A and B are shown apart, each in its own frame.
Chain A
Amino acid sequence: MSAAAGDQLTIYERSQAGRRAFVAPALDVPERELDELLAPELRRATPPRLPEVSEPEIVRHYNRLSKRNFDLDTGFYPLGSCTMKHNPKLHERVAALPGHAKLHPLQEPRQAQGALELMWRLQRALAEIAGLPHVSLQPSAGSHGELAGVLLSRAYHEDRGQRRTKVLTPDTAHGTNPATVTMAGLQVVKVGTDAHGNVDLEDLRAKASEDVACLMLTNPSTLGLFEPGIEEIERIVHGAGATLYYDGANLNAIMGICRPGDMGFDIVHFNLHKSFTQPHGGGGPGAGPIAVAERIEPFLPRPQVVMREPAGNGSQPHYDLDFDRPKSIGRLRGFQGNYGVFVRSYAYIRSLGAAGLREVSEIAVLNANYLLARLRLEGVLEYLPAAYDRICMHEFVLSGAPMKRELKIKTLDLAKRLLDHGVHPPTVYFPLIVEEALLIEPTETETKETLDQFAQTVAEILREAREDPEIARNAPYTTPVRRLDEAGAARRRVLRQAI
């Protein structure tokens, strides 16, 4: 499909033969025959057809593209389960320091002591927040951390001579949980949710057999609700000899308030791009470090960042990469992990300190409950009732089922109409067990005025729908493009520019 008039051109469509932005440094060594260095049969006949554009064109092109994005620095972004909190601007400055940014991953440890010490200190901090003693920073994202967790559970059981084949996940689980289980060679068994939005303890008891390796849980759950029965869950799961895995996606609700380790979890993963402010970048990078209990420690990925005690004579401790881990599950990726992300998260933890982190969770929970109450005051909950009528934590789920029945607009339409109001919609159609779900997480960095404004905006859209549902059904109107033919995209499958 080529560009029609008014379409935003791609960089390839702007390309003109002969233009360039890069000029190679002059050849300063004796020039040898190309054929001699690289036989013709090893070489490609034609170079890759990259664009030919000058620097001003590149800058203008991507700047224009950027203005077709809504972003967190610009507006409210209450995406449930994503923790879209402010990205402190200091972090880019410290991450860019050449001592961090230009450090080669295979630099000798004694010449990378700043980096290794930073990682070690970050590990200590995360251990303290989780309430579990040992941390690996290696996983690159939450789902990578989940994979580590399931592989660790497997290794732990196999080390004790047990081959367990199942992993339990609640039916409210994020899709990465079951996908991870399959990648780790185990089988998913779903555990139901009761009428109060909690894990169904009866169902859990029935399914917690000796064949279960692990229960993967988020607490608070993806419904934004804390499991009051967490202690009983721990008893059931550990009673069956299985491990308890904590999906840290919702950690923003409990930092400094309670700790997954104290709840009995054996393995915890963190999403540094959620609670620890690594910018989302439009879909990464992130990091998914894990904290584990003592009994899981031997199986942690290799290498581990360790502190080696001083030899004596007043010398300092030094930091090192420890490869001597015979029971380790091995590597999950190259080098040590997403160090640039660690720099930013470490700066955040140092900025906030313990009191600051607790305040984060207190305000995150306060803001969510306030927004829920405000929506109630605006009459929104008549059409979008809370899926569970109880105090929420840092996020809450509404169901658009009554709105669909009575106002004839779906959660999707509400989301699209919100775009016209300069707000990013909440998460839609997740979790799966709530019909026409709308998952809302304001985070602690939003002002009360923003929350008030959002509640009023939703109320206004509902009022408008009562008058004329067609408006929301055909929204958005003011965005760079309007509703897109997703079915057409999946059928036509144009996944690259034709050149």
Chain B
Amino acid sequence: MTRYTSATDADRQAMLETIGVGSIEELFADIPARLRLDRLPELGGGLSEQEVYEELRSLAARNVSTQDELSFLGAGMYDHYVPALIDSIILRSEFLTPYTPYQPEISQGGLQAMFEYQTAISELTGLPISNASVYEGPSAVGAAGYVAKHVNLRRRFVVSRGVHPHSRETLQTLARGYGMEVEQAPLCDGLTELPHLDGDVSAIVVQQPNFLGAVEDLPRLARAAREAGALTICACDPLPLALLKAPGECGVDIAVGEGQTLGNRLDFGGPSFGFFATTEALMRRIPGRIAGETRDVDGKRGFVLTLQTREQHIRREKATSNICTAQALNALAGVIYLSWLGRRGIVELAELMLQRTAYARERLQALEGVEALHHRAVVREFALALEVPVERVRARCLEQGVNPGYPLGRDYPEHQDGLLVAITEQRTRAEIDRLAEVLGAAVAAERCAAKEVGA
């Protein structure tokens, strides 16, 4: 008997008798003998709780987390401070352990939380309709493409190279599946340069701020799309939306994004959540769960999953998406976080990041052998160009316990010299100064090494 099952010998005896069979074996009679395993799977394990804990702890000890180094690594997920009240709420059994709310009468907690989350996302994005979450950022972009395809039945997406590489790749994979071509639009001096859009373009896909940290001219991009009869899909970083013009105000049709920064941990990349918001016109095409307000038979206000005819369990092959399980608990963390920040707090947080980012950019640009890769307005992340090999500089910094950022050359052959540096409210001035010191020393050392080699 494992610690999670309770069937004693006596229980089993009684149950088998009631069923009318002699052994548990007989219950598996439908399985052809040839398929029955005659040995246990080779798994090892069967350990006590204490031993399992020790194993997981020792695996954790072999990871260098943001607690173990000074990290300026961003590129899609960021080391923000997650307040203690989030865990105290989301680890409650009533939020952690139930299933999707198919019986609304006993799921009002989860359904109301979804409604509150939808409201918060709608406020952030400036779009009226939000769903209750999708898996994460890049697959949300893929799902948005699926919506656009069904809206105008055109055959091509134009995707800016300023969109996160993972989002571009995911869109590529999914688009090949549902039969759409993907064309890339280049970045010119840090901003998206759209090609001429013909009548075959279903949607443009852009990111705000873009992958190089630059704030795009969204209204201009959306206007160009609209004039060509195409939709505008914008992947957004949520916290900068406290300051930046909301996608809805810029003419964006679908705003999606990665929600990790809203009250969720890094967790080596997941679970987090993706948000998905649209204009009123696209309401019936939006994927995922949506909670709606209503009344019960006694007139009490309550919430239910609604517009379910979009979804797989009813619409099946004609569904707006195949999504079933999403990221409800992570979205709950998101709305708690947004409530914790509050109307003024989110602005203060964003302004703090803006100021510190400006300071960091200025200090690092001033280093010998380091330049800004572009001079566009940034909010929380910026790109540098190094005179010396980025990977080597990085390796030196890591030895000093400082992770200076993401090497752009890994995804942008045109920016082999690029380093993407991220700032959060956790990166203090003293820490930024340390980065400047360590990065400066690393670049200097590499310049020396280059001179010695006579390169």
Interface centre among A50, A257, A479 (most CB of B within 10 A): A50
Q: Which residue of A lies closest to B377 (CB)?
A: A38
| B-contact 0/1 string along A281-313, CB 8 Å cutoff | 111111100000000000001100000000000
Q: Tell me if B107 is interfacial: C-beta within 8 Å of chain A.
A: yes
Which of the residues A108, A340, A481 comes within 8 Å of B267, measured between beta carbons? Answer: A340
Q: Tell me if B345 is interfacial: C-beta within 8 Å of chain A.
A: yes
Q: Which residues of A contact B115 (CB under 8 A)?
A: 10, 495-497
Q: Which residue of A lies closest to B124 (CB)?
A: A48
Contact A100 B60 (CB under 8 A): yes
Categorize the interface residue count of chain B: 35 or more
| B-contact 0/1 string along A344-365, CB 8 Å cutoff | 0011011111111111101101
Q: Which residues of A contact B327 (CB under 8 A)?
A: 281, 283-285
Q: Are A6 and B300 CB-contacts (below 8 A) given A71-B93, A490-B292? A: yes
Contact A283 B132 (CB under 8 A): yes
Q: Tell me if A466 is interfacial: C-beta within 8 Å of chain B.
A: no
Q: Which residues of A contact B349 (CB under 8 A)?
A: 22, 24
Contact B429 A448 (CB under 8 A): no
Which of the residues B18, B92, B164 comes within 8 Å of A334, measured between beta carbons? Answer: B164
- Cα–Cα distance between A324 and B233 once the two chains are bound (Å): 30
Q: Tell me if B412 is interfacial: C-beta within 8 Å of chain A.
A: no
Q: Which residue of A lies closest to B7 (CB)?
A: A363
Q: Are A65 and B105 CB-contacts (below 8 A) given A103-B267, A283-B289, A335-B77? A: no
Q: Tell me if B185 is interfacial: C-beta within 8 Å of chain A.
A: no
A-facing residues in B156-174 (Cβ within 8 Å): 164, 166-167, 169-170, 172-174
Contact A333 B296 (CB under 8 A): no
Contact B45 A419 (CB under 8 A): no
Contact A481 B296 (CB under 8 A): yes
Q: Are A24 and B120 CB-contacts (below 8 A) given A47-B346, A373-B20, A445-B4? A: no
Contact B113 A281 (CB under 8 A): no
- Cα–Cα distance between A65 and B332 once the two chains are bound (Å): 12
Which of the residues B289, B302, B329, B347 comes within 8 Å of A484, measured between beta carbons? Answer: B302
Q: Which residues of A contact B135 (CB under 8 A)?
A: 140-141, 144, 284-285, 333
Contact B170 A331 (CB under 8 A): yes
A-facing residues in B42-77 (Cβ within 8 Å): 42-47, 49, 51-53, 55-67, 71, 73, 75-77
Q: Which residues of B contact A24 (CB under 8 A)?
A: 345, 348-349, 351-352, 425
Binds B, one of A178-186, A202-210, A237-245: A178-186
| A-contact 0/1 string along B264-290, CB 8 Å cutoff | 011111110100000000010000011
Q: Which residues of B contact A72 (CB under 8 A)?
A: 93, 97-99
Q: Which residues of A contact B321 (CB under 8 A)?
A: 179, 183
**Smallest beta-carbon distance B449→chain A, Å:** 21
Q: Tell me if B242 is interfacial: C-beta within 8 Å of chain A.
A: yes
Interface residues in A, total, Cβ within 8 A: 210
B-facing residues in A384-398 (Cβ within 8 Å): 390-391, 393
Q: Are A283 and B1 CB-contacts (below 8 A) given A90-B49, A179-B319? A: no
Q: Which residues of A contact B177 (CB under 8 A)?
A: 147, 150-151, 154, 183-185
Contact A43 B268 (CB under 8 A): no
Contact A107 B292 (CB under 8 A): no
Binds B, one of A55-63, A403-411, A457-465: A55-63
Contact A87 B258 (CB under 8 A): no
- Cα–Cα distance between A494 and B290 once the two chains are bound (Å): 10
A-facing residues in B136-165 (Cβ within 8 Å): 136-139, 146, 164
Q: Tell me if B452 is interfacial: C-beta within 8 Å of chain A.
A: no
Q: Which residue of B lies closest to A488 (CB)?
A: B294
Contact B242 A331 (CB under 8 A): no
Q: Are A283 and B64 CB-contacts (below 8 A) given A142-B325, A334-B167? A: no
Total residue contacts A-B, CB cutoff 8 A: 733
Q: Are A79 and B99 CB-contacts (below 8 A) given A31-B355, A283-B110? A: yes
Contact A366 B3 (CB under 8 A): no
Contact B97 A48 (CB under 8 A): no
Q: Are A112 and B268 CB-contacts (below 8 A) given A20-B345, A24-B348, A50-B120? A: yes
- Cα–Cα distance between A49 and B330 once the two chains are bound (Å): 21
Q: Which residues of A contact B132 (CB under 8 A)?
A: 283
Which of the residues B40, B71, B120, B330 comes within 8 Å of A355, measured between beta carbons? Answer: B40
Q: Are A486 and B29 CB-contacts (below 8 A) given A38-B354, A179-B316? A: no
| A-contact 0/1 string along B18-42, CB 8 Å cutoff | 1111001011111110111100111
Q: Are A73 and B93 CB-contacts (below 8 A) given A117-B59, A183-B177, A335-B166? A: yes
Contact A179 B342 (CB under 8 A): no
- Cα–Cα distance between A44 and B115 once the two chains are bound (Å): 24
| B-contact 0/1 string along A310-341, CB 8 Å cutoff | 00000000000000000001111111111111
Contact A257 B36 (CB under 8 A): yes
Q: Which residues of A contact B43 (CB under 8 A)?
A: 125, 128-129, 349, 353-354, 357
- Cα–Cα distance between A27 and B83 once the two chains are bound (Å): 20
| B-contact 0/1 string along A23-63, CB 8 Å cutoff | 11101111110100111011110011111110100110011
Contact B27 A360 (CB under 8 A): no
Q: Which residues of B contact A10 (CB under 8 A)?
A: 112, 115-116, 119
- Cα–Cα distance between A42 and B105 once the two chains are bound (Å): 44
Q: Which residues of A contact B403 (CB under 8 A)?
A: 104, 107
Contact B166 A281 (CB under 8 A): no
Contact B103 A425 (CB under 8 A): yes
**Smallest beta-carbon distance A250→chain B, Å:** 13
Contact B46 A58 (CB under 8 A): no
| A-contact 0/1 string along B87-105, CB 8 Å cutoff | 1111111111111111111
Contact A11 B339 (CB under 8 A): yes
**Pairs A-B, 6 closest by C-beta atoms:** A353-B46, A99-B60, A335-B269, A281-B329, A105-B269, A283-B328
Given contacts A62-B89, A176-B324, A367-B7, 19 further A-B pairs with CB under 8 A are A6-B300, A48-B123, A48-B343, A55-B85, A66-B94, A90-B53, A94-B53, A103-B63, A104-B77, A179-B312, A183-B174, A185-B179, A188-B316, A228-B31, A281-B328, A335-B166, A354-B42, A372-B19, A484-B294
A-B contact pairs, 18 of them (CB 8 A): A1-B293, A11-B339, A21-B341, A31-B355, A43-B244, A44-B249, A50-B346, A101-B267, A105-B77, A106-B406, A279-B96, A335-B268, A341-B270, A353-B43, A419-B106, A425-B103, A485-B295, A492-B292
